[in-house]
Structure 1
Amino acid sequence: MIFETKRLLVRKLKITDLEGFYELESNPKVLQYATGEVKTFLECEEELENLIEKYDEFENTFWIYAVERKSDKEFIGTVALVKTNEEDEIGYRFIEKYWYNGYAKEVCGGLITYCKLVNLTKIIGYVVDENKASAKVLEYYNFKQVKKFISDDIGLPETKYELYL
């Protein structure tokens, strides 16, 4: 276990997460504000295997973890802690059927606590401006807007947020 919240457990990904991981990564609605590119089952299997292998890499800076519900051990999404341009970026995504349950807010709070425990001093998040729900989550935790731009990967207006811990 990496950390837990009241209803959620954040842990390393396992190959048995493949079905849920595919449901997450093959849904265009889930990815519309991320890469925008859905993946096939085989692409998901390969990506999941690569993410699992990264846990053992020396000086890994790309951590993607599983989010599961404590109540039924159901895989519901992923959370990310990635070093980008010397900054520590957080992110999360959830399988569509688990939206609107407060999981993003809950896991973000847990992630902030975890980042403090591992002695990070600042975390950042990028949110496509159309993604009002994710912006609300970051603003709830007092992330400050620091930059507006057009994203390189999906060509949409995006905002960079930061939070000093």
Structure 2
Amino acid sequence: MNRNVILAEHQRFETERLILRKVEITDAEAMFEYGSDPETVRFITIPPYEDIEATKAGIADFFVRNRLVSWGIVEKKSNQFIGTIDLRLEGDGGAFGWIINRKFWGRGYVPEVAKCLLEFGFNELELNLIWAEHFSENKKIRPSDGKNRNDKYGSNLCLC
């Protein structure tokens, strides 16, 4: 099995309320809206975007380069690009990373897209373990076992 081929064949997913699709340069304005918000980017490893050009560079440098394992999240109801999620493969496992526009927090969107990608990861990619990585200081994350694996990051199995 070639996981890259499987990933290349799955460019788009749909859930009840969301579309997962590849991030494009044309998403820069929507990404800048949340990517420049200090509260939204507080628990990710890059600083807030300073302008649209920096956002476009971020899209080109990360999302285009990592197309096989990253998706933009679009709310069906509004057709608005609201964030991103990636599933970074590590051996026979994978790690989730995500960011959502603060205007859309608290709606259950991350568990919804995670469930979709969990099913894909286990059933199509035949992964043995999928976990979510987050900063342990982020109290809005509710890991399944409530334990943090180290001081900076908490890596927990995502049982969404």
RMSD: 2.4
Q: Retained in 1: the 8 A contact 2:21–2:73?
A: yes
1:120 corresponding residue in structure 2: 127
Q: Which has the higher strand share?
A: 1
Q: What CA distance in whole angstroms lies between the structure 2 residues aligned with 1:36 and 1:16?
A: 20
Secondary structure, counterpart of 2:150 in structure 1: strand
Matched, 1:77 2:109: no
Secondary structure, counterpart of 1:148 in structure 2: coil
Q: What CA distance in whole angstroms lies between the structure 1 residues aligned with 2:148 and 2:103?
A: 32
TM-score by length of structure 2 reads: 0.78
Matched, 1:18 2:31: no
Secondary structure, counterpart of 1:132 in structure 2: coil
Q: What CA distance in whole angstroms lies between the structure 2 residues aligned with 1:68 and 1:105?
A: 14
Query: Are the structure 2 counterparts of residues 25 and 86 from structure 1 closer, same or farther at C-alpha, using a change threshold of 3 Å?
Result: farther
Query: Are the structure 2 counterparts of residues 71 and 26 from structure 1 closer, same or farther at C-alpha, using a change threshold of 3 Å?
Result: same
Query: Are the structure 2 counterparts of residues 54 and 91 from structure 1 closer, same or farther at C-alpha, using a change threshold of 3 Å?
Result: closer
CA deviations on 1:53-111 (whole Å, 9 max, x unpaired) are 443xxxx6xx2210001123210110011135874211211011111111122112112
Q: What CA distance in whole angstroms lies between the structure 2 residues aligned with 1:120 and 1:86?
A: 5
Q: What CA distance in whole angstroms lies between the structure 2 residues aligned with 1:90 and 1:124?
A: 6
1:129 corresponding residue in structure 2: 136
Q: What CA distance in whole angstroms lies between the structure 1 residues aligned with 2:103 and 2:66?
A: 28
Q: Retained in 2: the 8 A contact 1:146–1:162?
A: no
Q: Retained in 2: the 8 A contact 1:10–1:67?
A: yes
Q: What CA distance in whole angstroms lies between the structure 2 residues aligned with 1:10 and 1:132?
A: 26
Count residues with an aligned counterpart: 146
Q: What CA distance in whole angstroms lies between the structure 2 residues aligned with 1:90 and 1:21?
A: 19
1:155 corresponding residue in structure 2: none
Secondary structure, counterpart of 1:44 in structure 2: helix
2:5 corresponding residue in structure 1: none
Matched, 1:46 2:52: no
Secondary structure, counterpart of 2:29 in structure 1: helix
Aligned pairs for 1:86-105 within 5 A = 87-105=93-111
User: Where do 5+ consecutive residues of structure 1 fail to align?
Assistant: 152-157
Residue type of the partner of 2:150? F
Identity among equivalent positions (%) equals 23
User: Where do 5+ consecutive residues of structure 2 fail to align?
Assistant: 1-10
